[in-house]
Amino acid sequence: PAAALRASPLLGVPFAVKNLFDIAGLQTLAGSKIERDSAPASADAVLVQRLEDAGAVLVGALNMDEYAYGFTTENSHAGPAHNPHDLTRIAGGSSGGSGAALAAGQVAITLGSDTNGSIRVPASLCGVFGLKPTFGRLPRTGSYPFISSLDHLGPFARSVQDLALSYDAMQGPEPGAGTAANGFGPGCAQRAAERTVAQLAMGAHGLRIGVLGGYFRDNAQPEALAALQRVADALNATETVELPMVDAGRAAAFLITNAEAGSLHLDDLRRRAADFEPLSRDRFLAGALLPAAWVARAQRVRRLYAQAVAQVFDRFDVLLAPATPCAATPIGTEWFEINGRRLPVRPSMGLLTQPISCIGLPVCAVPVWGAHPHLPIGVQVIAAPWREDHALRVAAALEAAGVVRSPVATLAG
């Protein structure tokens, strides 16, 4: 039995995936109406195959924002994903179904994608753990793309142990896929597996932890800052640090997102514009009209921003920040207020995540209860590139101390 468990560490564990992962025999809809005319997938996505090889049992596909563009999963084609802790509120997005199914106790593990925050936002609002690995860590073959230069794939779970188990099962190079150097997409670094489960017991020992201020404080409501403070206090993290160039980095990510998305969907925008969600369609069209020089400049700014942030990790191993500006808002809410500024909810739920994924850093979102009267809100545990182990160790320490937890929703409160 012990040998069997080592070979199949997820034996019998049910999981479900965001509906942009291919499932053999089913259509990969990516939350859209247009893909209802597509052919069924001929094979499972690589990460689905890897979880199944570890013994996990796939049970279905999950709701999402159309083509992964949004932070609320208020999908006009399939209907909104409801937050299991309060069915009148959003689950976050774009991997809203992945967060909601887990919080509802329907499965033990889910998969999502994160381009600008689409794992961390639902994890925060649904009160579950989510891991966005380093850009390129996990292969993307068999997943519907959103923004090739920004797309990450990763797991959700209700415990750090399950999160690490699923992450470890999906690691490793993809045989025959090649590398960026020989023409393969940059989204797969073909990096050797670096297992994390055995390191969880080390906790935060020896790690230098900073708390992000400035931009990350200015774009958070009091409940998000209270959650951050609870985590910082538990880790004895007292030093505040400001990332350089954050506003420029987020602006670059926004330009790149719109330009690549507009290019990807241009043919359908010309032929079937009415079949897109109106908000997505308008942003895709705007992106398709962006001058190439702007996009090239955005990529240069992104590179400079990454270089500037890398210097911060000379002083710190882990950085803490709120995951969302606030807890889950009621379904249908179009605007919220942050520090006197009125902002649209759908793009602004990602204010605090977008500057981190823009430069590919690994992040574990951890759920905090008590900062909001009856809803969870997440904190980002951010590590240096390829140091997912550091983020997961800190998350495990917080979980062991009872500071973060992910209970199955009861709807009692």
CB–CB of 156/36 below 8 Å?
no
Q: Is 60 helix (H, G, I), strand (E, B) or coil?
A: strand
Q: How far apart are CA 17 and CA 11, in angstroms?
A: 17
Q: How many domains does the chain have?
A: 1
Selecting among 118, 143, 149, 166, the annotated active-site residue is 118
From 60, 44, 67, select the one nearest 262 (Cα to Cα).
67
Residue 410 belongs to a domain: no
Q: How far apart are CA 64 and CA 29, in angstroms?
A: 10
Q: How far apart are CA 285 and CA 282, in angstroms?
A: 5
Residue 247 belongs to a domain: yes
Residue 128 belongs to a domain: yes
Q: How many CA atoms lie within 13 A of 104 on its CB side?
A: 19
Q: How far apart are CA 52 and CA 272, in angstroms?
A: 36
Residue 101 belongs to a domain: yes
Q: How far apart are CA 206 and CA 413, in angstroms?
A: 39
What pLDDT, on a 0 to 100 scale, did the predictor assign at position 59? 98
What pLDDT, on a 0 to 100 scale, did the predictor assign at position 413? 45
From 242, 243, 244, 277, select the one nearest 261 (Cα to Cα).
277
From 406, 302, 298, select the one nearest 361 (Cα to Cα).
302
Residue 412 belongs to a domain: no
Whether 94 sits among the annotated catalytic residues: the reply is yes
Q: What is the CATH number of the domain that holds 391?
A: 3.90.1300.10
What letters, b where the CB count within 10 A reaches 16 and e where it falls short, cover 75-109?
bebbebbbbbbbeebbbbbbbbbbbbbbbbebbbb
Q: How far apart are CA 180 and CA 263, in angstroms?
A: 21
Residue 406 belongs to a domain: no
Q: How far apart are CA 91 and CA 130, in angstroms?
A: 14
Q: How far apart are CA 172 and CA 5, in angstroms?
A: 19
The range of the structural domain enclosing residue 251 comes to 12-173+188-400
Residue 413 belongs to a domain: no
Selecting among 94, 113, 124, 406, the annotated active-site residue is 94
Residue 32 belongs to a domain: yes
Q: Specify which residues 80 forms β-bridges with.
A: 74
Mind listing the pLDDT tens digit of every residue in the chain (413 residues)? Answer: 666 667 899 999 999 999 999 999 999 999 999 999 999 999 999 999 999 999 999 999 999 999 999 999 999 999 999 999 999 999 999 999 999 999 999 999 999 999 999 999 999 999 999 999 999 999 999 999 999 999 999 999 999 999 999 999 999 999 877 665 555 566 788 899 999 999 999 999 999 999 999 999 999 999 999 999 999 999 999 999 999 999 999 999 999 999 999 999 999 999 999 999 998 999 999 999 999 999 999 999 999 999 999 999 999 999 999 999 999 999 999 999 999 999 999 999 999 999 999 999 999 999 999 999 999 999 999 999 999 999 999 999 999 999 999 999 997 54
Q: What is the DSSP letter of 21?
A: B
What pLDDT, on a 0 to 100 scale, did the predictor assign at position 7? 81
If you write DSSP's letter for every residue of 316-383 in order, what string do you get?
-SEEEEESSSSSPPBTT--EEEETTEEEEHHHHTTTTTHHHHTTT--EEEEEE-SSSSS--EEEEEEE
What pLDDT, on a 0 to 100 scale, did the predictor assign at position 183? 52
